[in-house]
Structure 1
Amino acid sequence: MMTKAYAFTNGNVIHGDQHQGLAKNMTILVDEHGRIQQIGKEHDMDIPAHYETIDLAGKYVMPGLINAHVHLFADGKPFTLSASEGMLQFAYNHILNTKFGKSVLIKRMKRNALTALHAGVTTMRSVGEFFYTDVALRDEINANTFVGPNLLVSGFFLSVTGGHGAPYLALVGDSPWEARKNVRINVKHGVDLIKICVTGGVTDAKMVGEAGRLQMTVDEVTAICDEAHKIGLRVAAHVESTEGVRVALKGGVDTIEHGAEMDDEIIDLYKNNPNALNGYTALIPTLQAAYPSASLDTSVTKVSATVKENSRLVYTSMLKSVHQAIEHGITMGVGTDAAMPFVTHYDMWRELDHYMRQAGLSTAQVIEMATRTNANILGVDEFTGTLEVGKNADLIVLEHNPLERIEALSNVNMVMVNGNLIPTPSVTRIPEVDQLLNSVW
């Protein structure tokens, strides 16, 4: 796709690599193909006459954010799954799984993807949607039907009978061969990665402790990873217990989503996993997804006592894993679990802030995690994640310096994705969610 060519002048550049620091009064040239052509001082370069010059007047430029764990089917408003099985089945079959229902769903997903983009998220990994609507949305964006974020999509979860997400959000298999078949079904539908549920989850657990209960076997996980890896697809594993992490790692998954407290064997497997696609497994915690339900009174969150206690157990163990990952040099990225209650598509900065408050990381460290590190983990580092010559022009412009205050990311002045400029991004916020989250601290 040919775009306009731009020269961004007088900008303070954050490259996405924490060791490069801040480069002041820089110019970035973006060519007609949407790629970064040159970065340097204006007096050292010749700006072609047809380039549109945008004077940033000392604003801050950095790579677009990468959210490694999102769902697009919801927007972060509180919801509950407390309806009876019969009600859920009726809603699924007679409302959602209809032409009208799917049309409404994909419009909502498009709106949520654009909300994230206007908030500075230029790349998203969607890890579980209904009916391959995420595949359709990605294909619309890639066909230039509209300007959207770079999307990596997983389609349906892979789960087991009675497992997390089953049967409505997941393909169900109860043996290695059934699991392998489900990988093939997802691949046939055009997914970019495979998402599996190794343990139970908070949202659909019926009792305390079910969120981390082991559901898949090592043999099932191994079969899934073998089938995916042979065609170069990564496997992301929903896991919320220590034993679940062990099973997932032994099976060869590429990312652990959420995570749990580690022991020595698990630490070693994260760092050196011969069955993973790239020889190691990364951790993608989702702290902000569990924290409100775990910490606030149920009169505020409206969740059940079971959800609150499961959230508390998961959050406590997940936070321990974050500290262990930092201590032992385990690769760790950033995902928010956007769509879950109280996790919107426009507040990724809150997840970064959480790392800083609860794990002692610096602004430079969390910015690198949300850009360069996430790109490496997701396998898209060849074209995005840092501001470098030859990479796609995925960037955001900020009024204030996020290296001084991470909340600067909550107000984005400009967004560019693949060279397409959004000069005045606009985000519709959810006041009741923002107010609640602001009260947590």
Structure 2
Amino acid sequence: MHRLSSPTTLVGVDVWDGHDHLGPHEVTWGPHGSGSAPDAVVTELGAVGPSAAFAGLSLIPGLIDTHVHLIGNAGGAASGFLTWPLVTPPTEQVLHGLAHARRALAGGVTTLRDLSADEVQFSLARAVEAGLVEAPRLLAHGMVSMTGGHGDMFVPPGVDPRLRKPTADGVDACRALVRAHARAGATGIKIATSGGLLSDGDKPSWRNHTTAEIDAIVDEAHALGLLVAAHAHTDEGIRIALRAGVDSLEHATQLDGVLAGEVVEAGLPVAPTLLINDAIADGSVPVTAEQQEAARALVVDRDAGFRAAADAGVDFVLGTDANGFHVRFGDQMAELRRMGEVLGWSAARVLEAGTSRAAVAIGRGARAGSESAKPGSGSGSGSGSTVVSASGGPVLGRIAVGAAADFVLLRGRPWLDVDALDPANIVAVVARGRVVAGSLPTA
């Protein structure tokens, strides 16, 4: 993958900027920064008349999936979800992770956040940043799990201990594992404040870590500038995560209108992971009877609770829990459409969940007070200065001067009709300023 060497301009394309429909605009993007990493930002954005070349097409920001698991068999196998990582060396796993990432890219996803990363994902993320491979931007969170916790139980108990992922028991060990992940290249930390569905022998109701251990993990992560994402299915798990001061909630399956006020007050984004829990509950993917029963018990009141939470102002964002086995990479638009159904949202609000709001959730939205962060502020021209996110890189999930040049050109108006959010409608995907799928029309 090579750096973008010269500016590119689209004239008269209909733009939705991550917050608002701007109408036909001239959009120019060009190289940004120095070094080997291929990147580009929007340098000019101004209103013009519509172009016949883009009739019926729209330009939206690239999608951001805030919760995935890249490492798994990308070959389409229908079995072996738990055993495949145990019999596949890391050198081979990284190739499957890249295949998954590229499928997401072709589906309009230009940024992924892996929430159970180790040296495989850290290595892949560095290769992406260095421009060695073509894939979405990759943020990788290392997991801190206790012995017998949700993260630990993806490896069956009889497996050689040398094949198990690292765990942490006790306050000092929890701090040490956070530090080890940070040293290895993690961009964040994941914890579990409840049990899970797919880990072997796990139960959603089980506590994970003590209060003191969780406090140590969150404190150490924040001291190192790392966001903390909390896996929490149950209402108790949600309360534990809220009390600990985490930065996002993953699943939050028992969230309801009562808990919603606390989540809104804390300003926490929630990734609802609808498709995967639906699939486990209805048995449309390979799961055990126990897993299906546990999922059914969790989702029976989920939709009504989520709708009440959405009405209360909870900031749900795109997070699929895609692993290539239960949810495919490339299903992100289907997840967004399902969010619209469950949450009762307009098409525009659904689209925000997968772009500008998802960017804020992962620390890549505009800094507070930035003009570029405000709705309707994307028009105008500029010299290419960067709109900086809270993490220091170009803003994602927006089409604005200085924001990252990550776009999807597709047929239809997805901010008016959520059904237009379909990979079949994609005409081109641009990531870091380069066309990585399809092609851009020419006048």
TM-score by length of 1: 0.82
Alpha carbons 2:337, 2:418 under 8 Å: kept: no
Partner in structure 1 of residue 43 of structure 2: 37
1:40 Cα offset (Å): 1.9
Alpha carbons 1:77, 1:342 under 8 Å: kept: no
Alpha carbons 2:412, 2:420 under 8 Å: kept: no
CA–CA distance in structure 1, aligned partners of residues 5 and 269 of structure 2: 35
* Structure with the higher fraction of residues in helix conformation: 1
Aligned amino acid, residue 353 of structure 1: R
Alpha carbons 2:41, 2:403 under 8 Å: kept: yes
Partner in structure 1 of residue 372 of structure 2: none
Partner in structure 1 of residue 404 of structure 2: 392
Shift >6 Å, 4+ stretches? none
CA–CA distance in structure 1, aligned partners of residues 402 and 286 of structure 2: 49
Partner in structure 2 of residue 276 of structure 1: none
1:31 Cα offset (Å): 2.0
- In 2 relative to 1, CA 178–265 (structure 1 residues): closer, same or farther, beyond 3 Å? farther
1:42 Cα offset (Å): 4.0
- In 2 relative to 1, CA 409–222 (structure 1 residues): closer, same or farther, beyond 3 Å? same
Aligned amino acid, residue 245 of structure 1: I
Is 1:233 the equivalent of 2:226?
A: yes
Aligned length: 390
- In 2 relative to 1, CA 340–247 (structure 1 residues): closer, same or farther, beyond 3 Å? farther
Partner in structure 2 of residue 60 of structure 1: 58
Map Cα deviations across residues 317-360 of structure 1 (whole Å, 9 max, x no partner).
Answer: 54344223212212221100111643111011111111122221
1:73 Cα offset (Å): 1.1
1:225 Cα offset (Å): 0.6
Is 1:116 the equivalent of 2:104?
A: yes
1:41 Cα offset (Å): 3.0
Alpha carbons 2:275, 2:338 under 8 Å: kept: yes
CA–CA distance in structure 1, aligned partners of residues 44 and 290 of structure 2: 54
Partner in structure 2 of residue 286 of structure 1: 273
Which segments of 5 or more consecutive residues in structure 2 lack a partner in the other structure?
A: 33-39, 156-163, 366-388, 390-394
Is 1:177 the equivalent of 2:179?
A: no
Alpha carbons 1:199, 1:240 under 8 Å: kept: yes
The RMSD of aligned alpha carbons is: 2.6
CA–CA distance in structure 2, aligned partners of residues 309 and 54 of structure 1: 54
CA–CA distance in structure 2, aligned partners of residues 170 and 366 of structure 1: 36
Partner in structure 2 of residue 433 of structure 1: none
CA–CA distance in structure 1, aligned partners of residues 207 and 256 of structure 2: 17
Which segments of 5 or more consecutive residues in structure 1 lack a partner in the other structure?
A: 45-52, 274-279, 426-441
Partner in structure 1 of residue 16 of structure 2: 14
CA–CA distance in structure 1, aligned partners of residues 81 and 53 of structure 2: 53
Map Cα deviations across residues 84-136 of structure 1 (whole Å, 9 max, x no partner).
Answer: xxxx5xx766x33xxxx11210000011111111110011111113x421110
Is 1:190 the equivalent of 2:152?
A: no
Q: Relative to structure 2, which stretch is displaced further, 108-117 or 332-341?
A: 332-341
- In 2 relative to 1, CA 81–266 (structure 1 residues): closer, same or farther, beyond 3 Å? farther
Alpha carbons 2:320, 2:327 under 8 Å: kept: yes
CA–CA distance in structure 2, aligned partners of residues 188 and 375 of structure 1: 24
Map Cα deviations across residues 1-36 of structure 1 (whole Å, 9 max, x no partner).
Answer: 44331111221111111xx2x333322111233111
- In 2 relative to 1, CA 418–113 (structure 1 residues): closer, same or farther, beyond 3 Å? same
- In 2 relative to 1, CA 78–365 (structure 1 residues): closer, same or farther, beyond 3 Å? farther
